């Protein structure tokens, strides 16, 4: 009998590794431990074993059963792994280059943002960021925007419900939270944290309740610039903006500053540029940003002495620059994620 058991275990160990399917496994298992299986037969023979041999025989049968079960379990394990692998499909190597060039490239807005940020980094600006949710103080009051300014109107900004709590943005009791309407908030947050000289650009998302059309979107992006130091003048602003425009739009581009008004700069300007080689947009003055010298009221709000320091600030829409550079005539294309559109900028 012991000999029979040894033969069975040896057979199971030899055959099971070659089993490839569940059907094959069930058929083989039946020949071993099924009702007519060889192991079952040996067990049935226990009845005829003399009493004194029973303990030894029982032990031998148990050992054989355990060996057979272990072999069967490893067959099941192998089959399950193979079934899972078949479901998942062939192994992929995520480090291989993508066969489709539209995968893994920056969005056209991000491309222009990076180009602009790189340009300013090269002339000594660092990048600053702040939250998209803001309190009225940082979005308006600290920027000298009076309570009756139209930007503060419910119709123009996205205010958040009073019950909302935003842990990382502080506000006074009766203030409201809103989605920032411009990146000028980053001027305030940066000046509260850093002592002059401050030289930053702040790219980021902004929100206004504009009716969406070809040139307006409720959600858009701006880049803010701020330079504060002793003796910063309008000439510094003009030189920096000239450099920006010539780098982005080509050496033949010209700039002009037109008087304007912003509560947080004095004097304030709109900057236009003009280029002879911009396709349809050639030889026209195009307005691209607001700018000016930091208003003394803003310095007072952040505890910087306006008698000692001066500064300039500018802010522009990234979409506006991108549309001119990329020849896109409807801002909405940027947000539809239509691969036929995006592919053109890959
Ligand atoms: N924040 C202004 C806007 O959104 C732009 C601006 C920024 C103007 C900095 C002057 C200085 O229109």
Q: Tell me whether residue 93 is in a domain.
A: no
Task: Please tell me the predicted confidence (pLDDT) of residue 102.
Answer: 53
Number of domains comprising the chain: 2
Task: Please tell me the predicted confidence (pLDDT) of residue 90.
Answer: 85
**CATH (domain of 218):** 3.30.930.10
Task: Please tell me the predicted confidence (pLDDT) of residue 101.
Answer: 58
List ligand 1's pocket residues with C-beta within 6 A. 182, 184, 224, 262, 265, 290-292, 313-315
DSSP-assigned letters across all residues of 229-272: ETT--HHHHHHHHHHHHHHHH-TT-EEEEEEEEETTEEEEEEEE
Ligand 1 centroid–CA 108 distance in Å is: 23
Range of the domain at 303: 108-345
The ligand 1 atom at the shortest distance from the C-alpha of residue 184 is: 1
The ligand 1 atom at the shortest distance from the C-alpha of residue 290 is: 8
* Other Cβ atoms closer than 10 A to 136: 20
Same domain? For 131 and 26 the reply is no
Task: Please tell me the predicted confidence (pLDDT) of residue 100.
Answer: 65
Strands 254-262 and 219-229: unpaired
Q: Tell me whether residue 221 is in a domain.
A: yes
Task: Please tell me the predicted confidence (pLDDT) of residue 210.
Answer: 84
Task: Please tell me the predicted confidence (pLDDT) of residue 338.
Answer: 93
Ligand 1 centroid–CA 311 distance in Å is: 14
The ligand 1 atom at the shortest distance from the C-alpha of residue 289 is: 5
Q: For a substitution probing ligand 1, which of 217, 237, 262, 269 has the most ligand atoms within 8 Å of its CB?
A: 262
Task: Please tell me the predicted confidence (pLDDT) of residue 123.
Answer: 98
Whose alpha carbon is nearest atom 10 of ligand 1? Answer: 291
- Host H or E run for residue 178: strand 177-179
Same domain? For 167 and 277 the reply is yes
Q: Tell me whether residue 96 is in a domain.
A: no
Q: Which residue stretches of the chain have pLDDT < 50?
A: none
Tokens of 104: 């893994």
């Amino acid at each position: 009998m012991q000999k029979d058991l040894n033969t069975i275990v040896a057979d199971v160990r030899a055959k099971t590794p070659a089993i490839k399917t569940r059907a094959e496994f069930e058929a083989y298992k039946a020949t071993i431990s099924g009702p007519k299986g060889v192991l079952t037969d040996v067990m049935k023979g226990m009845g005829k074993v003399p009493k004194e041999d029973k303990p030894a025989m029982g032990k031998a049968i148990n050992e054989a059963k355990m060996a057979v079960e272990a072999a069967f379990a490893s067959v099941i394990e192998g089959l399950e792994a193979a079934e899972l692998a078949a479901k998942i499909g062939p192994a992929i190597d995520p480090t291989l280059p993508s066969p489709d060039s539209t995968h893994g490239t920056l969005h056209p807005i991000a491309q222009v943002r990076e180009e602009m940020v790189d340009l300013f980094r090269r002339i000594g600006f660092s990048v600053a960021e702040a939250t998209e949710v803001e309190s009225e103080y940082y979005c308006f009051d600290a920027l000298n925007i009076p309570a009756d300014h139209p930007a503060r109107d419910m119709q123009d900004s996205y205010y958040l419900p009073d019950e909302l709590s935003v842990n990382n943005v502080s506000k006074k009791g009766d203030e409201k939270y809103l989605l920032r309407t411009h990146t000028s908030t980053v001027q305030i947050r940066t000046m509260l944290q850093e002592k002059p000289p401050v030289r930053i650009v702040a790219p980021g998302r902004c929100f206004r309740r504009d009716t969406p059309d070809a040139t307006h979107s409720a959600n858009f992006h701006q880049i803010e610039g701020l330079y504060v130091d002793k003796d910063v003048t309008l000439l510094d602003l003009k030189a920096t903006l000239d450099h920006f425009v010539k780098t982005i739009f080509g050496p033949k581009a010209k700039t002009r500053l037109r008087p304007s008004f912003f509560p947080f700069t004095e004097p304030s300007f709109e900057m236009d540029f003009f280029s002879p080689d911009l396709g349809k947009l050639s030889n026209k003055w195009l307005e691209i940003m607001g700018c000016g010298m930091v208003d003394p009221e803003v310095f007072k709000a952040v505890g910087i002495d306006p008698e000692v320091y001066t500064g300039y600030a500018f802010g522009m829409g990234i979409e506006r620059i991108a549309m001119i550079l990329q020849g896109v005539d409807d801002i909405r294309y940027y947000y539809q994620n239509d691969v036929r559109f995006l592919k053109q900028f890959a």
